[in-house]
């Protein structure tokens, strides 16, 4: 359904150009959930905004393609993108309170896209809005449809955002950390709701998160991003059972596990994500990598396939530690 290939996004700043997305590529099939995971600043959200054509005025896609059902979104003029956004592709933003209009009712905001894209009347759109609110588990939907966003809890606002994304029956939903600001109970409810709706409607999903627990819960396949590049891509079973890239291994070691003995300390990743204005030469993770070699300082590794993973799908990694078969290269 979606094929992103060699995507490069550049922003003009007072300190010079920065490239938060550099050569990113991945695919999403119908009904599949792809998780983009990585630390803050790794390029996950900018990749999503590049796909949607929602970059700020100082940002632009300079290279690559975003093929959606055979059409390159990266080259489309704004009027044509507007016909796709909210209809064929919908987005659930990270913070619903800043995404919902505070002066419009929930019903008005839900109805707007349905009137525009589906040609419904106001009465039809209102009835459909109530049905959508009921579908995402909001009680008293007939009353909530006339409420303003500030009258709802964080979990209910996020359910409204999911209802809005589903309103025009999209083929692809991009969810940008939709559970980050919610407590764990509400988070579990939202994740369960999204899984159920995806299974029911067959909608493909790109789920952006830094929480590997969410990845285990939601993903079919995973693309791990670091400093604007995909460093590992595989199915979710292989990611947890046979991680290859040192960054992926470090991420997995830095989270608590049910078998971790009481009192044991977690293993943090030393250092921080490099500045986009001063990226290191060679491998971008080498300054934090315990396995860095001389080659890592001078040559940027390519994302190479290593063969099949534990589940279905190819396993690719951007690291000099492995040859094409996935075998560790002697130091």
C-alpha–C-alpha distance, residues 307 and 94, integer Å: 34
Percent of residues, the chain, with pLDDT higher than 70: 95
In the prediction, which pLDDT does 230 show? 96
CA separation for the pair 301, 190 (Å, rounded):
38
Does position 313 have pLDDT exceeding 70, yes or no?
A: no
Q: Where is pLDDT greater, at 330 or 112?
A: 112
Q: Could you tell me which residue, 253 or 309, shows the higher pLDDT?
A: 253
- The CA angle 7-61-272, to the nearest 5 degrees, is 65
Contact indicator for 59, 9 with CB cutoff of 8 Å: yes
Which helix (H) or strand (E) segment holds residue 298: the answer is none
Q: Would you say residue 165 has pLDDT above 70?
A: yes
Question: Cβ(43)–Cβ(24) under 8 Å?
Answer: yes
* Structure confidence at residue 232 (pLDDT): 95
Encode 59-71: b = buried (16+ Cβ within 10 Å), e = exposed: bebeebbbebeee
Nearest Cα to Cα of residue 185 among 145, 158, 203: 158
Range 144-161 average pLDDT: 90
What tokens appear for 331 in the block? 């130091």
Which of 154-168, 169-183, 228-242 has the highest mean predicted lDDT (pLDDT)?
A: 228-242
Q: What is the token pair recorded at 267?
A: 């293993």
Task: Give DSSP secondary structure letters for 101-167.
Answer: -TTS-HHHHHHHHHHHHH---HHHHHHHHHHHHHHTT-TTHHHHTTS-GGGS-HHHHHHHHHHHHHT
For 244-257, what is the mean pLDDT? 88
> What are 90-113's pLDDT values in tens digits?
998 877 777 889 999 999 999 998
- How many degrees, rounded to 5, is the angle at CA 34 between CA 231 and CA 109? 125
**Helix, strand, or coil (residue 30):** coil
pLDDT at 150: 92
Could you give phi then psi for residue 16, rounded to 5 degrees? Answer: 120, 175
Domain ranges of the chain: 1-88+170-281, 99-167
* Element housing 301 (H / E): none
Q: Are the C-beta atoms of 50 and 36 separated by less than 8 Å?
A: no
Helix axes 122-135, 106-118, angle to 10 degrees: 120
Q: How far apart are CA 28 and CA 233, in angstroms?
A: 12
pLDDT at 22 over 90: yes
Per the prediction, the chain carries an average pLDDT of: 88
Place of tokens 């290269």: 329
- Greater model confidence, 224 or 187: 224
pLDDT for the residue 162: 87
Helix (H) or strand (E) holding 262: none
Residue 308 pLDDT exceeds 60: no
Q: pTM of this prediction?
A: 0.88
CA gap 26, 2 in Å, rounded = 8
Evaluate if residue 26 carries a pLDDT over 70.
Answer: yes
Q: Which pLDDT value is given to residue 98? A: 78
| Residue in 51, 72, 44, 46 with CA at minimum distance from that of residue 223 | 44
d(CA 16, CA 24): 21
Reported as a single tens digit per residue, the pLDDT across 44-86 is: 999 999 999 999 989 999 999 999 988 999 888 999 998 998 8
Mean pLDDT of 152-160: 87
CATH fold of 1-88+170-281 reads: Rossmann fold (3.40.50)
C-alpha 88/C-alpha 107 separation (Å) is: 21
How many other CB atoms sit within 10 Å of the CB of residue 54? 13
Q: Which residues have C-beta within 8 Å of that of residue 165, sequence separation ≥ 6?
A: 90, 91, 92, 173, 175
Q: Is the pLDDT of residue 282 over 90?
A: yes
- DSSP, collapsed to helix, strand or coil, labels residue 172 as strand
Distance in angstroms (rounded) separating the CA atoms of residues 179 and 194? 11
Identify the band that residue 137 occupies on the pLDDT scale cut at 50, 70 and 90. Answer: confident
Place of tokens 């009904």: 31
For residue 278, is pLDDT > 70? yes
Q: Is residue 233 very low, low, confident or very high in pLDDT (cuts 50, 70, 90)? A: very high
Across residues 271-279, what is the average pLDDT?
Answer: 89
State the pLDDT at residue 202: 83
Integer Rg of the chain from CA: 21
């Amino acid at each position: 359904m979606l094929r992103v290939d060699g995507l490069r996004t550049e922003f003009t700043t007072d300190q010079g150009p920065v490239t938060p997305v550099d050569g990113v590529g991945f695919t999403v099939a119908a009904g599949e959930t792809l998780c983009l995971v990585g630390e803050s600043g790794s390029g996950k959200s900018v990749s999503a905004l590049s796909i949607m054509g929602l970059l700020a005025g100082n940002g632009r896609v300079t290279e690559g393609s975003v093929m959606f059902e055979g059409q390159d979104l990266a080259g489309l003029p704004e009027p044509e993108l507007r016909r796709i956004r909210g209809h064929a592709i919908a987005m659930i933003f990270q913070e619903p309170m800043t995404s919902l209009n505070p002066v419009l009712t929930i019903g008005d905001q839900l109805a707007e896209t349905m009137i525009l894209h589906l040609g419904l009347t106001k009465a039809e759109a209102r009835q459909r809005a109530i049905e959508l609110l009921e579908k995402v588990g909001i009680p008293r939907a007939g009353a909530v449809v006339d409420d303003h966003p500030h009258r709802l809890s964080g979990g209910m606002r996020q359910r409204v955002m999911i209802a809005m994304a589903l309103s025009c029956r999209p083929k692809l939903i991009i969810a940008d950390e939709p559970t980050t600001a919610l407590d764990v109970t509400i988070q579990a409810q939202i994740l369960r709701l999204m899984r159920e709706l995806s299974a029911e409607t067959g909608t493909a999903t790109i789920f952006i998160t830094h929480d590997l627990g969410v990845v285990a819960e939601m993903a079919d396949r995973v693309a791990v991003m670091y400093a604007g590049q995909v460093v590992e891509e595989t199915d979710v079973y292989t990611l947890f059972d046979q991680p290859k890239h040192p960054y992926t291994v470090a991420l997995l070691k830095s989270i608590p596990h049910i078998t971790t003995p009481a009192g044991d300390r977690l293993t943090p990743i030393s250092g921080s994500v490099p500045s986009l204005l001063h990226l290191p030469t060679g491998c971008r993770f080498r300054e934090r990598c315990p396995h860095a070699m001389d080659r890592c300082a001078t040559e940027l590794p390519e994302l190479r396939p290593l063969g099949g993973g534990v589940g279905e799908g190819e396993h690719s990694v951007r690291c000099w530690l492995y040859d094409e078969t996935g075998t560790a290269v002697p130091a």
